C-alpha cells in the first residue's frame, strides 16, 4: 500500500490515485470516505492459516479516530446528503471469511451514529447485499477475479437480513440521481442480478425536520469494481474514467481534455 501511495504522491502519473491509505473523495451532494480496514484489525478474518498480526494498538486507534472525525464533519455539513464509506474488509458477510469482528465493533457503530448510507467493500469473492440496523446498506462486491463460497447458514440468519448473495463474477454500480441511490449488481454477461434503490438517511435535525436533497437533479455514478488487489482496482477504474472523459470530450468538440458541457459528472470508486 505504501508503494501505491508513493506512486500517487511522488510521481507525475495522473492515472493512479491513492493519495493516502485513508482518504476522502467528494462528489456533488456527497462524500466517499475510504478507510484502511487492514490498519484496524489485528488479524485477517478467516481460518487459522490466515490469522496474523496487522495493526498495532496505536495504529488501530489512530485509524478509527480519523474515520470518526471525517464522518462527524460530513454529517454536520449541510451540503452533504450522502455519506458512503468504502473499505476492503466487510462489516457483515455471508461468504467465506464471514463478518469481520473488529470492524463490526469499531466501525459499524460509527456508520449508524453519523447517518452513513452505505458501506462498500470487497475481500470475500462474491456479490452481497445485507441490510443493517438504522437503514445502513452493506454491499460486498468481490466477484471480480475469483469465485468464493457462501455460508448458507449465515445467508438465512435472522439479523442482519441478507437481501442478495451469489458467487457469480460481476461488479456493482451505484447511481445517485434526483435524491435517490440505485445500486445494481451486474454479472460478467452484463445481466443485472439484483437492484436496490434507497433514499439518504437523516444526518441533521433527525426527528424534527424532513430530509431534503441539496444535490439537485445531477447524476453521479459510483462504480465499485472489486478484485483481489484493492488499490490496483482503484487505479484501473480511475484510468478508465479519465479515458472515457477524454474520448467523450473529444467527440463533442471539447478538446479531449475535459467532459463536454452536459456530460454527467462521473466518479468511479473501486476497492
User: Sorting pLDDT into bands at 50, 70 and 90, what band is 222?
Assistant: low
Using one digit for the tens of pLDDT, what is the confidence trace for 10-58? Answer: 887 777 777 888 999 999 999 999 999 988 887 655 544 444 455 567 7
Using one digit for the tens of pLDDT, what is the confidence trace for 224-249? Answer: 444 333 333 444 444 444 554 455 45
pLDDT at 208 over 60: no
User: Sorting pLDDT into bands at 50, 70 and 90, what band is 186?
Assistant: very high
pLDDT of 65 reads 94
d(CA 16, CA 236) in angstroms, rounded, equals: 8
Q: Which residue has the higher pLDDT, 24 or 261?
A: 24
pLDDT of 206 reads 84
State mean pLDDT over 132-143: 89
pLDDT at 254 over 80: no
Give the pTM.
0.76
Most confident of the ranges 1-10, 32-41, 80-89: 80-89
pLDDT of 170 reads 93
pLDDT of 57 reads 74
Q: Which residue has the higher pLDDT, 269 or 112?
A: 112
Percent of the chain surpassing pLDDT 90 = 45
pLDDT at 63 over 60: yes
What average pLDDT is seen over the chain?
Answer: 77
Q: Which residue has the higher pLDDT, 217 or 162?
A: 162
Amino acid at each position: 500500500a505504501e508503494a501505491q501511495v508513493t506512486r500517487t504522491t511522488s510521481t507525475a502519473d495522473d492515472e493512479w490515485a491513492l493519495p493516502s491509505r485513508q482518504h476522502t473523495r467528494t462528489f456533488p451532494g456527497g462524500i466517499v470516505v475510504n478507510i484502511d480496514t487492514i490498519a484496524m484489525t489485528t488479524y485477517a478474518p478467516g481460518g487459522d492459516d490466515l490469522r496474523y498480526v496487522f495493526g498495532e494498538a496505536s495504529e488501530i486507534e489512530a485509524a478509527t479516530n480519523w474515520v470518526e472525525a471525517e464522518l462527524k464533519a460530513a454529517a454536520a455539513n449541510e451540503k452533504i446528503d450522502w455519506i458512503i464509506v468504502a473499505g476492503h474488509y466487510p462489516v457483515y458477510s455471508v461468504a467465506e471469511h464471514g463478518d469481520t469482528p473488529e470492524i463490526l465493533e469499531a466501525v459499524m457503530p460509527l456508520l449508524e451514529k453519523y447517518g452513513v448510507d452505505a458501506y462498500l467493500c470487497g475481500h470475500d469473492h462474491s456479490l452481497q447485499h445485507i441490510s443493517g440496523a438504522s437503514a445502513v446498506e452493506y454491499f460486498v462486491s468481490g466477484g471480480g477475479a475469483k469465485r468464493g463460497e457462501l455460508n448458507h447458514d449465515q445467508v438465512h440468519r435472522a439479523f442482519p437480513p441478507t437481501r442478495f448473495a451469489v458467487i457469480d463474477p460481476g461488479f456493482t454500480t451505484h447511481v445517485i440521481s434526483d435524491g435517490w441511490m440505485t445500486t445494481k449488481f451486474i454479472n460478467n454477461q452484463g445481466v443485472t442480478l439484483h437492484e436496490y434503490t434507497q433514499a439518504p438517511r437523516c444526518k441533521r435535525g433527525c426527528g424534527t425536520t424532513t430530509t431534503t436533497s441539496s444535490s439537485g437533479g445531477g447524476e453521479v455514478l459510483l462504480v465499485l469494481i472489486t478484485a483481489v488487489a484493492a488499490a490496483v482496482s482503484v487505479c484501473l477504474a480511475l484510468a478508465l474514467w479519465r479515458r472515457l472523459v477524454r474520448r467523450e470530450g473529444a467527440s463533442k468538440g471539447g478538446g479531449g481534455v475535459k467532459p463536454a458541457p452536459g456530460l454527467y459528472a462521473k466518479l468511479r470508486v473501486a476497492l
